[in-house]
C-alpha cells in the first residue's frame, strides 16, 4: 500500500514536471532544436533554431555581444553600430565627462566618425561557437575523490583545453561549469578592443526616474547609448588606432517599427549574469533572512552619505555617479528579492520539494546509498556556514567597500616584495600601481570616504561577535577612547594612500626599504588587520564548507534530474549566451493593482509636472517638452503617442541589461534594461504572475536619436522595417 501511494505521488510529480512554462528559463542556444523550438513556434516564433544559433552560417548570435564586463549589446548596422543600455555605458560616458563637458548631464552625440570617442578599458566579445566538453573535463575524476583534488584535476584539464582552443591568442576560450559541475561547456569568442562612444542621451532621458524608479513599473526611462566597433583593415580585432575602420558584422538586427501588442512573442538574447534556481530551502533561508537584510543595511549607509555629498558638489556628483548607481542597484534589488521570496512562500515550496525528494531517495537501496543523506548534510553545512557568511558579507559589503581600504588591496604585490623579487618584477609592480592610482584618484573624494569609514567601522563592530573584531578596534579604544571620527581623522591625516600627491611621490622614489614604513601606514595597517581576520577566522572554514557544498549541489541537481526525467531543466545563468522567450503581458502585482504592458512619453511628462520639483530624477529637458507639445515624433508614433517602454514575461537577470528584445521574425523591437521589483526573486524562484522584464521600445530610441539629438545620419545606417 505504501509503495502504491509513493508511486501515485511520483506520477503526479512527473506529470506536472512535463509542463514547464515557456516564460521560464535561460536556455543554451546550442540545444534549442532539442528543447525549445517547438514551444517557441507554438508561441508564434517564425524562425528556426539555426537562425538563432549556427556556427556554419551567419545567425542572430553574430549580432549579439558581451559588452564590457557584464552587459549585453546588439549590432544595428553594417558599419559596426551598437546599442546597449545607458547604465551599461555609464562608466565610459563618465570617463569622458568633466565639470566643463558634463556628458552625463547633457548627453553627447558624435556628428561624424572623427568625433566618436575611444574607450581604453572597453571591449566587446562575439561568440564564435560553444561546445559540450563535459566528457573531456570529467574524464579523470571519480566519485571517491576529495573535492579539492577533484577541482584541481578539473582545473588542469580546463587550462589545457582553453589554451588549445585559443589558437595562440587569436580567440578567448573559456570553459564554464553547468548544473553545478555535472556538465562543462567551452565558449570561444572573438574580442574587439576598439569600441568608441557615438552617442548618449542626457541623464534626464537615459536615467529618467533615476533610483526612485529603479526596478519599478511603470517606467519612462530612455536607457540606451550608442557605440561603434572598429577593426583593422582586414576586419579583424585590433587595439585602438586612427587607422582602424568600422567593423563589418556577419549579422545585424533589422529594426521593426510596428511595435508590440498584448501576447506578442518576445525573445531576449544576451548574457545573463547569475541565477540560483536550484537552491535548497536552507540556502534560501540564509539568503532571505540573514544575508540580504544585513547587506541592505550596509549599502543604505553608503547611499545616505554619497547622496548627501553628491547633492552639495557637481564635482563629487560626477565622480560618484557610477558608483552610486552600482551601490543602489542591488540595494533595491535585494529588498524586492526578499519581499518576493516571502510572498511566494519560497522556503516552504523548497521544503515541499525536498520532502518529495527524500521520499524518492528512500524508495530503494541504491538511491538511498547515493542520495539518502544529502538533505541532512545540506542542513549541517548551512548551520555552520551562516555565521561565517555573515562575517564575509560585513567584510566585503562593508569594510572593503571603504575606498581607501580597497585601494590598499592594490598594494598587496608591493608588500610581498622580498630578496628574490627581480628588478624587472619590481618595476612592473610600480608601473601598474602608477596606472591604478591615476584611475583611483580620478573618481575619489577623501571627505566622502572618511564618513563611510567611520560609519562602516562602527556598524561592523556593533553587528558581529568580538571574536571577529580586528586589532584596529583595540587601537581605536586605547588611543581614541572608541571615537571613530577622531580615529578616521588620524588615518586620513597620516596615510599616504588618500593623497594622490603622496602616492605619486612614494612610487617615484620607491625603494624596498620603504615597505616596512608602508606596512605601518594607518590605511594599510587597517587593511592588513581585517585581512588577518578573514584569513585566520573565516576563509579556511568557509572554503572547506563551500567545497562540501559544491559536492552536495552537484549531487542534488543530478538527483533532481534523475527524479524528474521528463522535466526540461535549464542551467543557472553564468554570464554565457542564452535565450529566454515569452510574451508581452500586463500584470497584477498585488490586490487592486493592474499595470498595462506599455508606457508612453505622456507618462514621463506627467511625472515631471507632478513631482519633478521634489525629485530631480523626473526633470525633463525643454527640448523634449517641446517635441512632446508639438507631437513631433517623426515616423515613430503610435496612435498619436510616443511609445516608451513595455513589459513581457521573459526570464532575465543582471547581465541581460542591454540585450536585444526580438519579435517573432527576429527583428529588434527593444532593448532590455530592467525587471519589475515584484519579480526580482526570479534569480532564485521564477513566477509567471509577478516576473516581468522591462524593455525600452526601439521606436523611442530612434525618436531620441533623430528628433532630439538631430543625429539622422545614424538612422540612415539602420535597416527599418514597417
> Would you name the residues annotated as active-site residues?
87, 223, 657
Q: Three-class SS of residue 573?
A: coil
- C-alpha 706/C-alpha 201 separation (Å) is 12
Q: Three-class SS of residue 641?
A: strand
HSE of 178 in the Cβ direction (CA atoms, 13 Å)?
Answer: 24
Quickly count: other Cβ atoms within 10 Å of residue 139's Cβ. Answer: 11
- C-alpha 722/C-alpha 705 separation (Å) is 18
Nearest to 414 by CA among 437, 396, 393, 387: 437
Decide: 443 and 323 in contact? Cβ < 8 Å: yes
Give residue for cell 567601522: 457
Helix (H), strand (E) at residue 301: helix 292-312
Residue 684 has φ and ψ, to the nearest 5°, of: -120, -40
Decide: 558 and 569 in contact? Cβ < 8 Å: no
- C-alpha 429/C-alpha 425 separation (Å) is 6
**Cα distances (Å, whole numbers) of residue 512 to 127, 307, 416, 427, 430:** 45, 41, 10, 11, 11
Tell the burial category of 1 from Cβ atoms under 10 Å away from its Cβ (0-12, 13-18, 19+): exposed
- C-alpha 422/C-alpha 426 separation (Å) is 6
Buried b (16+ CB within 10 A) or exposed e, 269-300: bbbbbebebbbbbbbbbbbbebbbebbbebbe
Decide: 450 and 395 in contact? Cβ < 8 Å: no
Nearest to 155 by CA among 550, 540, 572, 569: 550
Decide: 666 and 51 in contact? Cβ < 8 Å: yes
- C-alpha 142/C-alpha 147 separation (Å) is 10
Residues in contact with 186: Cβ distance below 8 Å, sequence separation at least 6, in sequence order: 130, 131, 132, 133, 161, 162, 165, 173, 174, 175
Nearest to 480 by CA among 467, 466, 494: 494
Decide: 494 and 502 in contact? Cβ < 8 Å: no
The three three-digit cell numbers of residue 17, written as one number? 514536471
Torsion angle, CA of 241/173/161/579, rounded to 10 degrees? -160
**Beta pairing partners, 75:** 82
Q: Determine if the peptide bond prior to 218 is cis (ω within 30°).
A: yes
Give residue for cell 543604505: 300
Q: What 8-state DSSP symbol labels residue 198?
A: E
- C-alpha 175/C-alpha 210 separation (Å) is 37
> Do strands 183-192 and 108-109 pair parallel, antiparallel, or not at all (unpaired)?
unpaired
Range 321-330 contact pairs with CB under 8 angstroms and sequence separation of 24 or more: 321/90, 321/94, 321/104, 322/90, 322/91, 322/94, 322/443, 323/443, 324/211, 325/87, 325/90, 325/207, 325/211, 327/299, 327/302, 327/303, 328/211, 328/214, 328/299, 328/303, 329/214, 330/295, 330/299
- C-alpha 293/C-alpha 638 separation (Å) is 44
Give residue for cell 573584531: 469
Amino acid at each position: 500500500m505504501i509503495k502504491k501511494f509513493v508511486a501515485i505521488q511520483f506520477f503526479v510529480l512527473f506529470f506536472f514536471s512535463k509542463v514547464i512554462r515557456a516564460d521560464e528559463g535561460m536556455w543554451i542556444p546550442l540545444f534549442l532544436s532539442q528543447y525549445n523550438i517547438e514551444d517557441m513556434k507554438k508561441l508564434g516564433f517564425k524562425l528556426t533554431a539555426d537562425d538563432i544559433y549556427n556556427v556554419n552560417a551567419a545567425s542572430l548570435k553574430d549580432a549579439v555581444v558581451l559588452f564590457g564586463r557584464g552587459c549585453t549589446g546588439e549590432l544595428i548596422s553594417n558599419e559596426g553600430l551598437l546599442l546597449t543600455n545607458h547604465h551599461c555605458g555609464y562608466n565610459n560616458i563618465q570617463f569622458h565627462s568633466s565639470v566643463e563637458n558634463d556628458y552625463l548631464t547633457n548627453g553627447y552625440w558624435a556628428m561624424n566618425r572623427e568625433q566618436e570617442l575611444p574607450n581604453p578599458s572597453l571591449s566587446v566579445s562575439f561568440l564564435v561557437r560553444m561546445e559540450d566538453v563535459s566528457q573531456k573535463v570529467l574524464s579523470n575524476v571519480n566519485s571517491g575523490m576529495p573535492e579539492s583534488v577533484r577541482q584541481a584535476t578539473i582545473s588542469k584539464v580546463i587550462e589545457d583545453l582553453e589554451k588549445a582552443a585559443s589558437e595562440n591568442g587569436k580567440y578567448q576560450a573559456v570553459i564554464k561549469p553547468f548544473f553545478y559541475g555535472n556538465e562543462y561547456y567551452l565558449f570561444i569568442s572573438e574580442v574587439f578592443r576598439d569600441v568608441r562612444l557615438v552617442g548618449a542621451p542626457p541623464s534626464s532621458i537615459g536615467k529618467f526616474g533615476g533610483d526612485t524608479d529603479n526596478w519599478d513599473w511603470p517606467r519612462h526611462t530612455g536607457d540606451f547609448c550608442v557605440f561603434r566597433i572598429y577593426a583593422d583593415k582586414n576586419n579583424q580585432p585590433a587595439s585602438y588606432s586612427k587607422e582602424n575602420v568600422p567593423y563589418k558584422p556577419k549579422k545585424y538586427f533589422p529594426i521593426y517599427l510596428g511595435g508590440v501588442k498584448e501576447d506578442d512573442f518576445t525573445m531576449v538574447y544576451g548574457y545573463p549574469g547569475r541565477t540560483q534556481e536550484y537552491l535548497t530551502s536552507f540556502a534560501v533561508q540564509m539568503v532571505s533572512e540573514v544575508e540580504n537584510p544585513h547587506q541592505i543595511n550596509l549599502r543604505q549607509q553608503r547611499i545616505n552619505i554619497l547622496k548627501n555629498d553628491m547633492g552639495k558638489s557637481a564635482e563629487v556628483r560626477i565622480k560618484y555617479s557610477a558608483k552610486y548607481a552600482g551601490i543602489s542597484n542591488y540595494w533595491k534589488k535585494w529588498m524586492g528579492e526578499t519581499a518576493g521570496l516571502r510572498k511566494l512562500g519560497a522556503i516552504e515550496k523548497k521544503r515541499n520539494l525536498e520532502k518529495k525528494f527524500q521520499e524518492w531517495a528512500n524508495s530503494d537501496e541504491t538511491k538511498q546509498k547515493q542520495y539518502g543523506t544529502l538533505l541532512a548534510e545540506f542542513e549541517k553545512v548551512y548551520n555552520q556556514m551562516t555565521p561565517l557568511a555573515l562575517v564575509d558579507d560585513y567584510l566585503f559589503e562593508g569594510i572593503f567597500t571603504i575606498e581607501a581600504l580597497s585601494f590598499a588591496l592594490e598594494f598587496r604585490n608591493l608588500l610581498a616584495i622580498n630578496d628574490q623579487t627581480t628588478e624587472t618584477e619590481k618595476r612592473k609592480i610600480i608601473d601598474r600601481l602608477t596606472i591604478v592610482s591615476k584611475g583611483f584618484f580620478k573618481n575619489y573624494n577623501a571627505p566622502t570616504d572618511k564618513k563611510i569609514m567611520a560609519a562602516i567601522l562602527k556598524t561592523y563592530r556593533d553587528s558581529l561577535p568580538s571574536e571577529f573584531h580586528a586589532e584596529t578596534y583595540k587601537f581605536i579604544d586605547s588611543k581614541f577612547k572608541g571615537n571613530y571620527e577622531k580615529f578616521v581623522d588620524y588615518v586620513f591625516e597620516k596615510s599616504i594612500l588618500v593623497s594622490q600627491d603622496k602616492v605619486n611621490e612614494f612610487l617615484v622614489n620607491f625603494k624596498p626599504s620603504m615597505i616596512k614604513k608602508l606596512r605601518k601606514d594607518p590605511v594599510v595597517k587597517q587593511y592588513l588587520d581585517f585581512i588577518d581576520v578573514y584569513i585566520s577566522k573565516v576563509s579556511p572554514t568557509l572554503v572547506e564548507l563551500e567545497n562540501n557544498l559544491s559536492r552536495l549541489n552537484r549531487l542534488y541537481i543530478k538527483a533532481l534530474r534523475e527524479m524528474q526525467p521528463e522535466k526540461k531543466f535549464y542551467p543557472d545563468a553564468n554570464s554565457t549566451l542564452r535565450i529566454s522567450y515569452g510574451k508581452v503581458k500586463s500584470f497584477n502585482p498585488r490586490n487592486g493593482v493592474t499595470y498595462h504592458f506599455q508606457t508612453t512619453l505622456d507618462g514621463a511628462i506627467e511625472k515631471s509636472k507632478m513631482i519633478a520639483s521634489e525629485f530631480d530624477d523626473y526633470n525633463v529637458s525643454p527640448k523634449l517638452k517641446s517635441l512632446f507639445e508639438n507631437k513631433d515624433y517623426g515616423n515613430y508614433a503610435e496612435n498619436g503617442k510616443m511609445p516608451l517602454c513595455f513589459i513581457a514575461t521573459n526570464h532575465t537577470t543582471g547581465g541581460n541589461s542591454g540585450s536585444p528584445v526580438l519579435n517573432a521574425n527576429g527583428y529588434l523591437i527593444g532593448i532590455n534594461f530592467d525587471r519589475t521589483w515584484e519579480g526580482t526573486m526570479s534569480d532564485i524562484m521564477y513566477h509567471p504572475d509577478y516576473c516581468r522584464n522591462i524593455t525600452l521600445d526601439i521606436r523611442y530610441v530612434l525618436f531620441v536619436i533623430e528628433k532630439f539629438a538631430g543625429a539622422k545620419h545614424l538612422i540612415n545606417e539602420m535597416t527599418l522595417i514597417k
